[in-house]
Structure 1
């Protein structure tokens, strides 16, 4: 019994040290990632707030056709002849934003498309920006890869793993006896500053624990899909993304319009909402019509896709998330869980507040460490002064 009792304080001291040093060494990075993640929950809204020209102040009853919008885009960017990807917003006051991947100006970056926002009622270009060159996309790169491209992703995956250890050790150190659970879950009133700081630290961690665990796990999976996805594929086969090619006709024939391609795609899923239109890249490319069916976890990036031949309008391939295996379903839930959109506004607010608690945990943790260090220094100084006032007798005197 004595052996078990003596091991418990030693084990607690070990995990206390692990929790402390993980927090001090990684806390600032986690605080930055949490804070930027909170802002990115409302990425579109904040981008429009910072750039009010993107908001359509007086939307008219009739939008331009998708083909007319695409032609306005091509006139604005005549040198961009490869495929474009147009995001079609559900809100009538929002612009259509088109992405042109791998532009020459930023081709040395891993991901830095040209983003052109177009008024869907007039075809006027409202903004012409490169990813990473404006506030919200710069914040995204800071959150996702610490502005370090692939190296940053690996580093953040490691940080995510260490965050999981820190969360588990924090729960272990906090875990109270059952009869003290109520006190452990509440803020002590009229307490000292030291006690108030301690309560804020532990309560911020406990009340955000479940969301933090989900964010850490999904964040790791999103940072290193090249390792996580094959691992999930061992449980059920992963579906390869179709890459069907259009068949050029024998005689010269122009491609069908974007509106015809959208109609062909929506005929397969008539109740789904249009989210993205991807135009053909080259003579062999095809349209990809991205739709959202009811019940899909992601609002902006759903997984229902229809590929359409750019010449004949024939449906070449279909990807229906309802027919995917378990591993693909898990992968499709990762991003909407990480952003909170899988649970609607409630989920987004949970992610927002949990991200804001990351700096709180770091600051209160540092304050707690400084308080304890100051306490140890004061005790050491007091013991030194006490020893000076009451010196121990010399061993030689004791022998006499």
Structure 2
């Protein structure tokens, strides 16, 4: 009898342990969802819009961003240094040029980001200058980020602030980074709760139909979270990288050494810096398989050019490569490649994953749908919680009525 009873006791104990852990996962998932749901809905909706921020901004401001391209296309561009000079002439001389978005189509303007001192705030504004690469005409300038008035920001810039900092200066980006970590935990607990313990995988992926509204709400919540879970984990992890970069890199360095961009210094030289044309040509010669997405100009004295390229990896995937170029010699100081297999390569994956560019248009649409899923998950989760509370309340009343002596 003892030998028969022990396995049964052991199985019962395992069932109790599994049920206890399930209750912990359920409570964690519930309270994280209720506490963060509204914030995640805002972050998700703005993130969905920002997947297409270039397209939205272009649609709202065609006079700034659209130019007339000749039949020969970008082969008719004026020299890059002349394009950059045209932008410099439209901005105060003491302004600092940050980075430049490269036109991805023949009929698009170059987009330069400058930091311009604002005497009212004592802080710099971010201003944009748009230049026609064929005629060198400045198609316009505008404030991107204002240091005095949030509502002076460009519309898309306002969405960015709402997305990554909830419009709160100083601690907003840190707070959103913490929210991303907690949302990552919530997503993992959701997958654990969904996992079919009985092995009935077909039921785990199906919607019961026809069904009562309670069951339909549950299935929508369960499957919306499930199908977008891989996208969620990638986007949330990369979101932590952008909002908590130092902490994220510190964790990565536990597994692989990272090189610091500030170490990529141009060699001191009495000669003139190489031109933008030469720097870009050197990057393109070394890596001809890619197209340029953005360029950051070197800081004075010993800074380096930073060239960001997008290139096909295979299987429809696209990666981002970051190349650092000596501003005096034109030599490539470092090229961080997502295929390198080290910590630097892992960091290079974060932007393509977060934006969806890693898989082109399908990837961007997947990230777009993931952002829309947050308000859906929040609403269906709250409905599910209220349904359970109502059912528990009814059950409690019934127990009280059964236990009460009849009159």
> Is the alpha carbon distance of 1:361 and 1:81 closer, same or farther for their aligned partners in structure 2, counting shifts above 3 Å?
closer
Worse-matched range after superposition: 318-327 or 144-153: 318-327
> What runs of 5+ residues in structure 2 fail to find an aligned partner?
1-8, 147-152
> Which residue of 2 is the match for residue 247 of structure 1?
269
> Is the alpha carbon distance of 1:307 and 1:75 closer, same or farther for their aligned partners in structure 2, counting shifts above 3 Å?
same
In the alignment, the residues of structure 2 paired with residue 232 and residue 130 of structure 1 have an alpha-carbon distance, to the nearest angstrom, of 32
> Which residue of 2 is the match for residue 397 of structure 1?
none
Note if contact 1:262-1:289 (Cα within 8 Å) is conserved in structure 2: no
After superposition, give the CA deviation of every residue in 1:73-121 in whole Å (9 maximum; x if it has no partner). Answer: 2221133443453222121122110011364469877x96322222223
In the alignment, the residues of structure 1 paired with residue 322 and residue 383 of structure 2 have an alpha-carbon distance, to the nearest angstrom, of 45
> Is the alpha carbon distance of 1:375 and 1:295 closer, same or farther for their aligned partners in structure 2, counting shifts above 3 Å?
same
In the alignment, the residues of structure 1 paired with residue 77 and residue 174 of structure 2 have an alpha-carbon distance, to the nearest angstrom, of 44
**Structure showing greater Rg:** 1
In the alignment, the residues of structure 1 paired with residue 401 and residue 293 of structure 2 have an alpha-carbon distance, to the nearest angstrom, of 73
> Is the alpha carbon distance of 1:79 and 1:308 closer, same or farther for their aligned partners in structure 2, counting shifts above 3 Å?
closer
Q: TM-score, normalised by structure 1?
A: 0.83
In the alignment, the residues of structure 2 paired with residue 357 and residue 12 of structure 1 have an alpha-carbon distance, to the nearest angstrom, of 24
Note if contact 2:77-2:133 (Cα within 8 Å) is conserved in structure 1: yes
- What's the CA shift for 1:368? 0.9
> Which residue of 2 is the match for residue 156 of structure 1?
176
- What's the CA shift for 1:19? 1.7
Note if contact 2:125-2:143 (Cα within 8 Å) is conserved in structure 1: no
- Is it true that 1:273 corresponds to 2:301 in the alignment? no
- What's the CA shift for 1:214? 1.7
After superposition, give the CA deviation of every residue in 1:140-167 in whole Å (9 maximum; x if it has no partner). Answer: 1222222234422322232222223222
In the alignment, the residues of structure 2 paired with residue 370 and residue 333 of structure 1 have an alpha-carbon distance, to the nearest angstrom, of 40
**Structure (1 or 2) with the greater strand fraction:** 2
In the alignment, the residues of structure 2 paired with residue 53 and residue 375 of structure 1 have an alpha-carbon distance, to the nearest angstrom, of 58
| Superposition CA RMSD, Å | 3.1
- Is it true that 1:374 corresponds to 2:390 in the alignment? yes
> Which residue of 2 is the match for residue 307 of structure 1?
326
In the alignment, the residues of structure 2 paired with residue 198 and residue 182 of structure 1 have an alpha-carbon distance, to the nearest angstrom, of 16
Worse-matched range after superposition: 138-147 or 191-200: 138-147
After superposition, give the CA deviation of every residue in 1:157-181 in whole Å (9 maximum; x if it has no partner). Answer: 3222222322222223222244532
- What's the CA shift for 1:336? 1.1
In the alignment, the residues of structure 2 paired with residue 12 and residue 255 of structure 1 have an alpha-carbon distance, to the nearest angstrom, of 63
SS in structure 1 of the partner of residue 130 of structure 2: strand
In the alignment, the residues of structure 2 paired with residue 321 and residue 257 of structure 1 have an alpha-carbon distance, to the nearest angstrom, of 22
In the alignment, the residues of structure 2 paired with residue 137 and residue 108 of structure 1 have an alpha-carbon distance, to the nearest angstrom, of 20
- Is it true that 1:146 corresponds to 2:166 in the alignment? yes
- Is it true that 1:78 corresponds to 2:92 in the alignment? yes
* Count of aligned positions: 380
- What's the CA shift for 1:291? 5.0
Note if contact 2:50-2:160 (Cα within 8 Å) is conserved in structure 1: yes
> Which residue of 1 is the match for residue 149 of structure 2?
none
> Is the alpha carbon distance of 1:134 and 1:81 closer, same or farther for their aligned partners in structure 2, counting shifts above 3 Å?
closer
> Which residue of 2 is the match for residue 198 of structure 1?
218
> Is the alpha carbon distance of 1:259 and 1:184 closer, same or farther for their aligned partners in structure 2, counting shifts above 3 Å?
closer
> Which residue of 2 is the match for residue 129 of structure 1?
143
> What runs of 5+ residues in structure 1 fail to find an aligned partner?
392-400
> Is the alpha carbon distance of 1:197 and 1:138 closer, same or farther for their aligned partners in structure 2, counting shifts above 3 Å?
same
Choose from 233, 249, 252 the match for 1:213.
233
Q: How does 1:310-329 map to 2 (within 5 A)?
A: 314-322=329-337, 326-329=342-345
> Which residue of 2 is the match for residue 166 of structure 1?
186
Note if contact 2:47-2:371 (Cα within 8 Å) is conserved in structure 1: yes
Q: How does 1:1-400 map to 2 (within 5 A)?
A: 1=9, 2-56=12-66, 58-60=68-70, 61=72, 62-101=76-115, 103-104=117-118, 113-122=126-135, 123-131=137-145, 133-241=153-261, 242-244=264-266, 247-249=269-271, 257-270=275-288, 272-282=290-300, 284=301, 288=305, 290=307, 292=309, 294-295=311-312, 302-309=321-328, 314-322=329-337, 326-382=342-398, 390-391=406-407
Q: TM-score, normalised by structure 2?
A: 0.82
